[in-house]
Amino acid sequence: MASLVAIVVAHDSADVLPACLAALAGQHVPVIVVDNASRDDSVAVAEAAGAQVIRGARNEGYGRANNRGVRAADSADHVLIVNPDVTLRPGAVDALLAASRAWPDAGLLAPRLVEADGRFFYQPRSLLAPYLANPGGRLALPEGDACAPFLSGACLMVERALFLALGGFDENIFLFYEDDDLCRRVADAGRALIHVHGAEALHGRGRSSAPEPGRVFRSRWHQAWSRAYVSRKYGLPDPSLAGLMTNLPKAALSALVLRRAGLERYGGSAAGALAFLLGRDALAREGLH
């Protein structure tokens, strides 16, 4: 299976990497781990599992790191982008490859994602998916292979040449909405997004990185900023002002009642929206250029 290489981006992911890498090894998939300046044993874990490791001097964000990994996978026809908190069930890789042969117009293929509580994750709409409109967000779970409006970046298979021809993930985005953006560009190129029902993966949502102080604020900042960025990119209404007006009073109330969790959540969203309105850059916030 040398024509398929998995790309796993790690950042303080030592707790979840062993299961992820063992599942890929069990299906004979070579792995490139791109380490985003982990402070734990992520590199040692990856090397012990036999993965090729690309070490980053700093956390470059999800999209940039994946792009580095895909460029390094120069022996691959397809790449499998996998979050470190995703464990592919036996047979999942074969099912994805079979689907790519069965649906030759597919640009992106993704497995059925099962959350830790057993719930089948499927997003019935995307901000950037006018090609499969579902304004009310009605959830109808697929019972087999299906075209989808969005495929989660938690696990995606794509032709390496197509990924590179489209420019990979948008490197202006540090975190969030980079998968929506890639899905949109793949669809705009005339290729389908295929949910592969027979391929199953367990997803430990939110466990890719170890918890740290300020993580919620930072995540919500980037979520608000990235939503505004992709909205502008595709000519959609800018959500920043509405986001600021919605979240700022909630942040103030949380501060008043000394509720730190609310302050981080709503304050992060308000700060990200304000930063976009002021023309500030997500990469500059992270010290990247």
What domains sit in the chain, N to C, each tagged with a CATH number? 4-203 (3.90.550.10), 215-285 (no CATH)
Q: Are 132 and 117 in contact (CB under 8 A)?
A: no
Tokens 């402070």 correspond to what residue? 39
State the pLDDT confidence band at 2, using cuts at 50, 70 and 90.
very low
Q: What's the start-to-end Cα distance of the chain, in Å?
A: 36
**Of all residues in the chain, what percent carry a pLDDT higher than 70?**
96
Q: For residue 14, what are its two tokens? A: 């030592």
CA distances to 9, 273, 287 from 208, rounded to whole Å, are 9, 25, 22
- pLDDT at residue 207 greater than cutoff 90: no
- pLDDT at residue 202 greater than cutoff 80: yes
Average pLDDT, rounded, for the chain? 94
- pLDDT at residue 132 greater than cutoff 90: no
State the pLDDT confidence band at 84, using cuts at 50, 70 and 90.
very high
Q: Give dist(CA 141, CA 240) in Å, integer.
A: 31
Q: Give dist(CA 245, CA 168) in Å, integer.
A: 34
pLDDT score of 138: 79
- The phi and psi torsions of 265 (rounded to 5 degrees) equal -65, -60
What is the mean predicted confidence (pLDDT) over 108-118?
A: 95
State the pLDDT confidence band at 195, using cuts at 50, 70 and 90.
very high
- pLDDT at residue 134 greater than cutoff 90: no
Tokens 């830790």 correspond to what residue? 116
Tokens 């006018």 correspond to what residue? 130
Query: Comparing 128-132, 254-258, 265-269, which segment has the lowest mean pLDDT?
Result: 128-132
What is the mean predicted confidence (pLDDT) over 36-42?
A: 96
Q: Are 8 and 84 in contact (CB under 8 A)?
A: yes
Tokens 């499927």 correspond to what residue? 122
Output the 3-class SS for the chain.
CCCEEEEEEECCCCCCHHHHHHHHHHCCCCEEEEEECCCCCHHHHHHHCCCEEEEECCCCCHHHHHHHHHHHCCCCCEEEEECCCEEECCCHHHHHHHHHHHCCCEEEEEEEEEECCCCEECCCCCCCCHHHCCCCCCCCCCCCCEECCCCCCCEEEEEHHHHHHCCCCCCCCCCCCHHHHHHHHHHHCCCEEEEEEEEEEEECCCCCCCCCCCHHHHHHHHHHHHHHHHHHHCCCCCCHHHHHHHHHHHHHHHHHCCCHHHHHHHHHHHHHHHHHHCCCCHHHHCCCC
Q: Give dist(CA 219, CA 78) in Å, integer.
A: 30
Q: Is the pTM of this model over 0.85?
A: yes
Q: Are 177 and 184 in contact (CB under 8 A)?
A: no
